[in-house]
Structure 1
Amino acid sequence: MTLYARFAREIGLILDELVTTGAIPAGLDRRAVTVEPPRDSSHGDLATNAAMVLAKPAGTNPRALAALLAPRLEAVSGVEAVTVAGPGFINLTLSPELWREELATILGEGANYGRSDLGAERTVNVEYVSANPTGPMHMGHCRGAVVGDALANLLAFAGFGVIREYYVNDAGAQVQTLGRSAHLRYREALGEAIEIPEGFYPGDYLKPVGAMLAAEYGDLYVGKPEAEWLDLFRERAVAAMMDMIRADLALLGIHHDVFSSEAAVQKAGRVTAALERLRGEGLVYEGTLDAPKGEVPEDWTPERMTLFRATAFGDDSDRPVMKADGGLTYFGTDLAYHAQKAETADQLIDIWGADHAGTVKRIQAAVQALTGGKVPLDVKLVQMVRLLRAGEPVKMSKRSGSFVTLADVVREVGRDVVRFSMLTRKADAQMDFDFAKVVEASKDNPVFYVQYAHARGRSLHRRAAEAGLALDGAADLALLDNEELALVKLAAQFPRVVEGAATTHEPHRVAFYLYDLAAAFHALWNRGNDDPARRFLVADDAALSAARLALSDAIGQIIRNGLSIMGVAAAEELN
């Protein structure tokens, strides 16, 4: 049990005792009670808000409840001092021995340090990437792919069952255009000179598809009516594009458990079933929407459509699920698709581009209606990435066929650099990806700075062997001083960071924490530049060297655990 978990348990036991003695009533909701580092480290090692959040429901005031908690906390083994601050915060100062024990816990639990049962065997469906299957992955897709995959890793680390899903948009106008574009490349492969019309997909990536179709069918579909070949060419082109997308994602170490087809959702009758169910509950009706806000287009006319009563669930307007001509809207199919996902998950998370912000409320409303509010949906919006090369923008345009592919970027700077870089800012914040900066060996480059900390720590083992230091046997952690234990205190926050990031669905928190931990490690390391006695390895003191090496190993373990969540390999050495 980690130190923070231990004190959360101790506080729970003390509260149970107060209930037993009648000091506070039974049944208080304790979910908001926290154990965390105080904002000011001079106030102690741990702080709890138990008195603050429980006083009102307990029918008392925070200071009075804190006065009941404080003496009981003072009696807990390893607690050196307890103070009540402000309106009722309780600060605890712990003995150095407790931090040495936590260091031993980190080393003992190894790759499992920071794992928790927060998920309590609940299943979360994380849908991410879901790029239209009309071409290879480009850097516009990359950030959402990494955020989604890191979030899936994070949730699994925190004890959730995770389903990683990709929604294949293989119905609608875009894939019809893809089929027609593939037919042009098919004719080209048979020797015909072609001209690609405006609106078609002009990229060279369709040439191999055309060649494949030409080899398989010869000139069978040359000069034939579109109705004879469009469905076939669309299906074959989509399949080829999905193979390409899977290969691109594999370069990033991303693999999905489920690939769900939009066309299959429609074919299985799921849309009809979902709409009939909602209609039976009075949530789908025939009606006319109000005119668009602002300047109304000249060609706008009110049309009677099938509408979902999204306003009953907090949306700004009811939303069309079927057009006047009987065709499905994208939302109509999306609604049924989310109902399908909810059948196998306790919670849904979608990773979307920021350009989809306007559709968040309606799909959340639909999920609430279809699941009776039992399966929440969280939508994380991801801003685009601006590509730079030495500060100058790199232009890309998917339609023109001259975009920068994800594969190009991964091959140039490496998978780990791409993945780490995508998590160095909050997902909904704009970010720049500069090809020069992300490989720069400096403190300003978080990718390098964290990897360098790990590589430095690993180098100690090689250097100890070269120096002939005998480091066999258990390290005497009592030799670590307060400055070194301060690093342990930061390392001990890792389980809290994991749970906080998993709760908020924000994997970037792990990256931020690793940077802070690496900075603290580098600062401790750099003390030895001026004072050899402060180095991690002291040539004439094997016992002290062993203790400091144990500290370094623990920091390295935390870095590895955090990087594994991010899907990044820890560097053993850097050139």
Structure 2
Amino acid sequence: MTDMQTLYTAFGGTIETALKALVTDGVLPEDASFKNVTLEPPRDPSHGDLATNAAMVLAKPAKTNPRALAEALVTKLEAAPGIASAAIAGPGFINLTLDPQVWLDELAAITALADDYGRSTMGKGTRVNVEYVSANPTGPMHMGHCRGAVVGDALSSLLELAGHKVTREYYINDAGGQVDTLARSAHLRYREALGEDIGEIPEGYYPGDYLKPIGEYLAQELGDKHKDTPEAEWLPYFRAEAVEKMMDLIKADLALLGIHHDVFASEAALHAAGKPDEAEKWLREQDLVYDGVLEAPKGKAPPEDWEPVELPLFRSTKFGDDQDRPIKKSDGKWTYFGADLAYHMQKAESADELIDIWGADHAGTVKRIKAAVAALSEGKGKPTPFDVKLVQMVQLMRGGEPVKMSKRSGNFITIADMIEEVGRDVVRFTMLTRKPEAQMEFDFAKVVEASKDNPVWYVQYAHARIQSTLRKALEDEGFSPSSDAIADLGDEEHALIKRAAQFPREVEAAAKAREPHRIAFYLYDLATDLNAFYSLGNTDTQKRFIVKQDARLSQSRLFLAAAIGQVLRNGLRVLGVEAVDRM
């Protein structure tokens, strides 16, 4: 195997070589495609080490039945280096049993590649823009933002490991009415900082105490200059200052979570650059935007003040929507949808692929925004693949009861609150223990339990246990990891190696599916296998990692343990979770 070629890619190449030989023999047609051929562990370990569906997917183009093709393929595979035997199962699956040395070589590869084990060239340097969080700059980061933030950040790390060039982006919604409300709320706190009794916060303003420092800062900067001046005079300045200070707070909150973006794109700057007008012009040229009148609201009588107004409409019905959608309002301002089109066109100028992490409440807009982005990117001469990952909200619990809201924020639990209580690693790992589109409960009591039912503790414990074993072996017996005797390892140890060897495959599969939670699932399985092996030593001292009377065997098992620890570290790094050495 080459430096970056691990077991699954190596034997994937072996299968492809065998299939090409069947093309040469005339068994397979010259135009046969191997695209859907897979190589994976068999569901039942007793069936062998690897399984391929090659005969199943290629039987039709070969104009034969799967078992007949499998027989021809088995003959080729049995002669290939590293394969001890090949057997046909069921209607035509092929199970492969590898030479034991193959697994020992993979163990050595884990150690040699170290932090690069699992790194792939699959992405071929493709530039991927991942946009995530993008919360309105009107308050600190809260639980509603947390899950999407972690999913987006872990996905970015996963794609980088799989060979993509990733840009982490945050879109600042600093051009809407909510920013004017923020400015007015900041002005209220500014007057308060000057000594005015502001009383109850008016309905519609942002009530949280997090705006008090901004008011105090503005009071120090301005004195009473804008205490009594008309709103028109102070609003633009207060809006800019409030957004800047809120983004500082948001960046600090995200940093607590270990999240740092490469780009912060401003909606206000987007409008100033004329990007929405540019997008509208192109869409009109493609007859995807036209001037038309929206239908009256469905299902009920129109409001008395409703009037039909001609607006520029995007032909979203062409893409499965129930009505065409306006890109501008009746006052000439851009709708959120209209601005979003332009923003995605801007992102596509410097990326080969786009991925957005959205809350599940945006599900209704996915189809039309993807259609518009496809049209816009095609207009640039380069269609840009665009994917949207929807993330469900998280229900906060404490011992099975809903959590009360935070006093600091006014009406929600902040990310800072969560991290202060349970720690960053717990928050990040827990957010990846379920598929993002699935509902989730985050129970403050359960996520800190020291038990197998708590995945983050269990995986970190497995790594800490390995490090403790390595320290104890060196301090007590003078034993250190050595590959000199790894041939002495038995079936249980080989099972551990086989699980570890799946990591590069899991990275590629998770990256293709855009599903970083798969790495969390894999790490839990690896930790389970490791701890199961440890438990064997409770009843059989010869199964322990440290066998005092057998230095050779101990050093071999320590070499295995160190390699498993390396894989755990590499996987946790994708998730942004620390691999602790002590617990």
Q: TM-score, normalised by structure 2?
A: 0.96
Aligned 8 A contact 1:131 1:141 in 2? yes
Structure 1 residue 107: deviation in Å?
Answer: 1.3
Confirm or deny that 1:96 pairs with 2:100: yes
Q: Deviations over 1:363-420 (max 9, x none)?
A: 1011111112721111111111111122221133899714221111112211111111
Give the number of equivalent residue pairs.
574
**Partner of residue 354, structure 1:** 360
**Partner of residue 207, structure 1:** 212
Partner Cα separation in structure 2 for residue 460 and residue 395 of structure 1? 42
**Partner of residue 373, structure 2:** 367
Structure 1 residue 21: deviation in Å?
Answer: 2.9
Aligned 8 A contact 1:202 1:399 in 2? no
Aligned 8 A contact 2:482 2:558 in 1? no
Aligned 8 A contact 1:469 1:539 in 2? no
Q: Residue type of the partner of 2:259?
A: I
Q: Which moved more, 1:59-68 or 1:5-14?
A: 59-68
Q: Residue type of the partner of 2:112?
A: G
Cα root mean square deviation, aligned: 1.6
Percent of aligned pairs sharing the same letter: 64
Q: Which moved more, 1:306-315 or 1:434-443?
A: 306-315
Equivalent runs, 1:69-84 vs 2, <5 Å: 69-84=73-88
**Partner of residue 256, structure 2:** 251
Corresponding residue SS for 1:322: coil
Q: Residue type of the partner of 1:96?
A: P
Confirm or deny that 1:408 pairs with 2:434: no
**Partner of residue 337, structure 2:** 331
Q: Which moved more, 1:14-23 or 1:545-554?
A: 14-23
Partner Cα separation in structure 2 for residue 384 and residue 138 of structure 1? 11
**Partner of residue 544, structure 1:** 553
Equivalent runs, 1:439-454 vs 2, <5 Å: 439-454=448-463
Q: Residue type of the partner of 2:561?
A: S
**Partner of residue 148, structure 1:** 152
Q: Residue type of the partner of 2:137?
A: P
Q: Which moved more, 1:462-471 or 1:138-147?
A: 462-471
Q: Deviations over 1:199-234 (max 9, x none)?
A: 100111111111111111111111111110101101
Q: Residue type of the partner of 1:143?
A: R
Partner Cα separation in structure 2 for residue 20 and residue 371 of structure 1? 42
Equivalent runs, 1:154-233 vs 2, <5 Å: 154-195=158-199, 196-233=201-238
**Partner of residue 291, structure 2:** 286
Partner Cα separation in structure 2 for residue 352 and residue 317 of structure 1? 22
Q: Deviations over 1:166-213 (max 9, x none)?
A: 000001110000000000011111111113210100111111111111
Aligned 8 A contact 1:458 1:572 in 2? yes
With over 3 angstroms needed to count, the CA separation of the structure-2 counterparts of 1:552 and 1:161, relative to structure 1, is same
Partner Cα separation in structure 1 for residue 184 and residue 558 of structure 2? 63
Equivalent runs, 1:108-119 vs 2, <5 Å: 108-119=112-123
**Partner of residue 136, structure 1:** 140
Q: Residue type of the partner of 2:155?
A: L
Confirm or deny that 1:17 pairs with 2:5: no
Partner Cα separation in structure 2 for residue 76 and residue 146 of structure 1? 44
Structure 1 residue 294: deviation in Å?
Answer: 3.1
With over 3 angstroms needed to count, the CA separation of the structure-2 counterparts of 1:461 and 1:400, relative to structure 1, is closer
Confirm or deny that 1:342 pairs with 2:348: yes
Q: Which moved more, 1:176-185 or 1:103-112?
A: 103-112
Q: Residue type of the partner of 1:42?
A: S
Confirm or deny that 1:315 pairs with 2:324: no
With over 3 angstroms needed to count, the CA separation of the structure-2 counterparts of 1:399 and 1:59, relative to structure 1, is farther
Partner Cα separation in structure 1 for residue 407 and residue 25 of structure 2? 69
**Which residue, 513, 522, 528 being the options, matches 2:522?**
513
Q: Which moved more, 1:224-233 or 1:465-474?
A: 465-474
Q: TM-score, normalised by structure 1?
A: 0.97
Structure 2, unpaired ranges of 5+: none
Confirm or deny that 1:435 pairs with 2:444: yes
**Which residue, 9, 33, 38 being the options, matches 1:34?**
38
Confirm or deny that 1:240 pairs with 2:220: no
Q: Which moved more, 1:308-317 or 1:154-163?
A: 308-317
**Partner of residue 574, structure 2:** 565
Aligned 8 A contact 2:140 2:409 in 1? no
